[in-house]
Structure 1
Amino acid sequence: MTITLIAGARPNFMKIAPIIEAIQNQQKSGIDIQYRLVHTGQHYDKKMSHDFFEQLGIPEPDANLEAGGGSQAEQTANIMIRFEKELLENPTNLVLVVGDVTSTMACSIVAKKLNIKVAHVEAGIRSGDRSMPEEINRLVTDSITDYFFTTSEMANVNLRNNDISEEQIFFVGNTMIDTLLKQMPRFKAPKLWDANNLKSKNYFVLTLHRPANVDNETSFKQLMEEILVNTQGLPILFPVHPRTAKMLEKTGISSPNLILAEPMSYLEFNYLVKYAKAVITDSGGITEETTVMGVPCLTLRDNTERPETCTIGTNELIGTNPENIRPALEKLFKGEWKKGGIPELWDGKTADRIVQHLIELFIEQQQEV
């Protein structure tokens, strides 16, 4: 059995890493299962990628399509053209995609056009907000996927509501958490920890990158001002996304307790998250990590594709209205933030379950032939 694994952006590799390890473990036990790792190049920085692969124990990709850059349409087209050539030159039994980036959708379409089975890891999650490119990617991918590997019962419900059969749905857990739990003992403090005399539970981590929060100068400035005013002077660690950096420069926002940083390695960033008093973010993946690590999380979005981080975990949707920040932070400082729990099957063994299911599915197919 041969599986082609697709990754296009940094979060994808966190989800792919444990799957590669699970495949390698099956190989060691004598199972005939091979994989080919394809990096679409959707997001690529040579130095960061090298460090990232090394930290997570990911082998160098078998192919890099170098399809990044351009508009959404140009990027999608480039990935599809180059991935079609990749599949024709390197036949496979299955294409496995993860998450909800453009590469996930584009490679799924190419595979199905070539009559190759597709498995989607993190299938079924929905924000309900079609203005987000990721939501379109999820909807398109799940409309043509053959095997759906899900992180929550809510994702299962979403798929059933779209008439996906129970035989195609596999509730396995969250591979992002596999990586988190494996790497947690290796977390390390970045240089700015000592340089800024940081103390555990005595600072905030802030990440902002979504257009709704950072593209409008007025609303971005209001958000930042509310955060700065209501964090009681505690240090705010802000690894700055390129989109956000431009707006910070334009607005001239600064404060003695606002510590700007370049994007960090996985081990360094999650060290900061683990020991933060709270995280303020508009990311989706970070809300899963804060949930498992028991760190309060304030999400500056009006919706989420990961509702279990709110209903079970430590996350709360604050919305994009700057006026909502003060009451949320007051609640935090009063010690009234919910403790939260860990969703079912977020136990570090998700990738093993996925690979076992794939082996069983392949055996069934062979028997039918």
Structure 2
Amino acid sequence: FLNVGQGSPTEQIANIMVGLEAEMMKEKPDMVMVVGDVNSTMAAAITANKLHIPIAHLESGLRSGDRGMPEEINRIITDRITNCFFITEQSGWDHLIREGQEEEKMHFVGNTMIDTIVAFEEEIEKSNVLEQCSLEKDGFVLMTMHRPATVDHPKELEKLLSLMEMVTQKLNLVFPIHPRTVKNIEKFGLKGRLNDIAGLVMTEPMGYFSFQKLIKYARFILTDSGGIQEESTFRKVPCLTLRPNTERPSTITLGTNELVTFDLGVLKEKIDQILDGGFKQGEVPPKWDGRATERIVGILKDIL
């Protein structure tokens, strides 16, 4: 849309702002809605603010408490200049109250990511990804790992391969692998070890329907990502998140997610607990019912 190419984060943010400013001045919107916590979220919010256009932030109030994460800075800055807060879970409400936001601007609407799953359930179920990868329902593990702390350092990549070797002793492991990870595996001389892992199914990054079907029918999930914590909680699929924190705590307090240190002994205990049926069952958080978008549209009709 804006044809923003590659570059440093600062360069990309600047180019997004310049491009969006022209669009906003042309379209003259009554409000700009920004979503999530990526660089374009913050860039769009700042641009709207400078043009005196009210801002609505979907997924507002989420906090990991880790300001070393670029996403955390994006969330904080965006919420400081937001006029209308659309909140997905209780922690978002609590954080915004503590930060001094006014309740009349805050709306607990639920999770639009779940709306998408519900709306496209038929298409998700029609995906033939299980057949393509020769997988059985509940007979495989899904892994997503992409954070630089995990895949950009040789020792951490070696630990990741050890985890793969451990998991595939019991179940097939599906790993949609990022091109950067492939490049680093080759760079660090680990390609031969990777290729020797029996039961590992490596794929390129997948389309939405196929990936959602893998989430739905995985025995459990290993991840360092964000959104999949919510999707697995909705599906009530166990999820082990290899991070020290999460901006989505309802997936832990209510759902099927658990934060786990990247320690092979600890991970083995958790995996055995899942396979033995002793892992928590979880529940779906409030208003994750496929109707968040309806609530948002109703609120926008009232305030615009």
Question: Normalised by the shorter chain, which TM-score bucket?
Answer: over 0.9
Q: Deviations over 1:143-176 (max 9, x none)?
A: 1000000011111010011100101110000000
- The residue identity in structure 2 corresponding to 1:132 is M
Q: Deviations over 1:34-55 (max 9, x none)?
A: xxxxxxxxxxxxxxxxxxxxxx
Contact 2:129/2:210 (<8 A) preserved: no
- The residue identity in structure 1 corresponding to 2:253 is T
Gaps of 5+ in 2: none
Structure 1 partner of 2:96: 159
Structure 1 partner of 2:271: 329
Q: How many angstroms apart in 1 are the aligned matches of 2:162 and 2:126?
A: 28
Structure 2 partner of 1:48: none
Q: Does 1:273 align with 2:210?
A: no
SS at match of 1:187: helix
Map residues 22-33 of structure 1 onto 2, 5 A cutoff: none
Residue 259 of structure 1 and its aligned partner are, at CA, apart by: 0.8
Q: TM-score, normalised by structure 2?
A: 0.94
Contact 2:168/2:200 (<8 A) preserved: no
Q: How many angstroms apart in 2 are the aligned matches of 1:148 and 1:115?
A: 17
Contact 1:94/1:116 (<8 A) preserved: yes
Q: Does 1:238 align with 2:175?
A: yes
Q: Does 1:79 align with 2:21?
A: no
Residue 224 of structure 1 and its aligned partner are, at CA, apart by: 2.4
Counterpart pick for 1:112 among 43, 46, 49: 49
Residue 192 of structure 1 and its aligned partner are, at CA, apart by: 5.4
SS at match of 1:272: helix
Structure 2 partner of 1:200: 137
Structure 2 partner of 1:320: 262
- The residue identity in structure 2 corresponding to 1:214 is V
How many correspondences in the alignment?
A: 299
- The residue identity in structure 2 corresponding to 1:349 is R
Q: Deviations over 1:223-279 (max 9, x none)?
A: 221232144331111111222222233322231211110111111111111111011
Q: Does 1:260 align with 2:202?
A: yes
Q: How many angstroms apart in 1 are the aligned matches of 2:198 and 2:169?
A: 12
Counterpart pick for 1:356 among 286, 298, 302: 298
SS at match of 2:303: helix
Q: How many angstroms apart in 1 are the aligned matches of 2:222 and 2:203?
A: 15
Counterpart pick for 1:139 among 76, 85, 89: 76
Q: How many angstroms apart in 1 are the aligned matches of 2:118 and 2:165?
A: 32
SS at match of 1:304: coil
Q: How many angstroms apart in 1 are the aligned matches of 2:303 and 2:5?
A: 33
Q: Does 1:101 align with 2:43?
A: no
Seen in structure 2, the aligned counterparts of structure 1 residues 120 and 196 have a Cα distance that, compared at 3 Å, is closer
Residue 181 of structure 1 and its aligned partner are, at CA, apart by: 1.1
Aligned residues with identical type, % of pairs = 44
SS at match of 2:258: strand
Q: How many angstroms apart in 2 are the aligned matches of 1:177 and 1:66?
A: 29
Structure 1 partner of 2:161: 224
Contact 1:99/1:123 (<8 A) preserved: yes
Contact 2:168/2:199 (<8 A) preserved: no
Contact 2:35/2:59 (<8 A) preserved: yes
Q: Does 1:89 align with 2:31?
A: no
Q: How many angstroms apart in 2 are the aligned matches of 1:143 and 1:321?
A: 37
321-330 or 128-137, larger mean C-alpha shift? 321-330
Residue 324 of structure 1 and its aligned partner are, at CA, apart by: 2.7
Seen in structure 2, the aligned counterparts of structure 1 residues 249 and 191 have a Cα distance that, compared at 3 Å, is farther
Contact 2:220/2:239 (<8 A) preserved: yes
Residue 196 of structure 1 and its aligned partner are, at CA, apart by: 4.2
Contact 2:172/2:201 (<8 A) preserved: yes
Structure 1 partner of 2:112: 175
- The residue identity in structure 2 corresponding to 1:115 is H
Residue 191 of structure 1 and its aligned partner are, at CA, apart by: 5.5
- The residue identity in structure 1 corresponding to 2:248 is R
Structure 2 partner of 1:25: none
Q: How many angstroms apart in 2 are the aligned matches of 1:168 and 1:104?
A: 19
Q: How many angstroms apart in 1 are the aligned matches of 2:172 and 2:246?
A: 27
Residue 282 of structure 1 and its aligned partner are, at CA, apart by: 0.8
SS at match of 2:156: helix
SS at match of 2:3: coil
Seen in structure 2, the aligned counterparts of structure 1 residues 336 and 115 have a Cα distance that, compared at 3 Å, is same
Q: How many angstroms apart in 1 are the aligned matches of 2:129 and 2:29?
A: 45
Contact 2:114/2:289 (<8 A) preserved: yes
Q: How many angstroms apart in 1 are the aligned matches of 2:202 and 2:256?
A: 25
Residue 142 of structure 1 and its aligned partner are, at CA, apart by: 0.4
Q: Deviations over 1:53-76 (max 9, x none)?
A: xxxxxxxxxxx1112410110010
